[in-house]
Amino acid sequence: MTSEAPKRAVIRISRQFEARIADIERYWQRLDQPRSFERMVEAFETKAEPLLERFPAIGRLFLNTVPDTYVALLDCEELIQETEGAKERAELREFVFDDYVLLYLLVGDTVLLASIRHCKELSFDFDQIWGPER
In a domain, 86, yes or no: yes
pLDDT in tens, 90-110: 788 889 998 898 999 998 889
| Overall pTM > 0.85 | no
> Which pLDDT value is given to residue 90?
78
In a domain, 31, yes or no: yes
What is the arithmetic mean of pLDDT over 40-44? 95
> Which pLDDT value is given to residue 133?
46
> Which pLDDT value is given to residue 66?
64
Percent of the chain with pLDDT over 70: 72
In this model, does residue 5 exceed pLDDT 90?
A: no
C-alpha dihedral sign at 109, 43, 75, 61: positive
In a domain, 128, yes or no: no
| Structural domain span for residue 96 | 10-118
Q: How many domains does the chain have?
A: 1
Residue 92's DSSP bridge partners are 105
- Measured in whole angstroms, the distance separating CA 69 from the mean position of its chain's CA atoms is 19
CATH number at residue 82: 3.30.2310.20
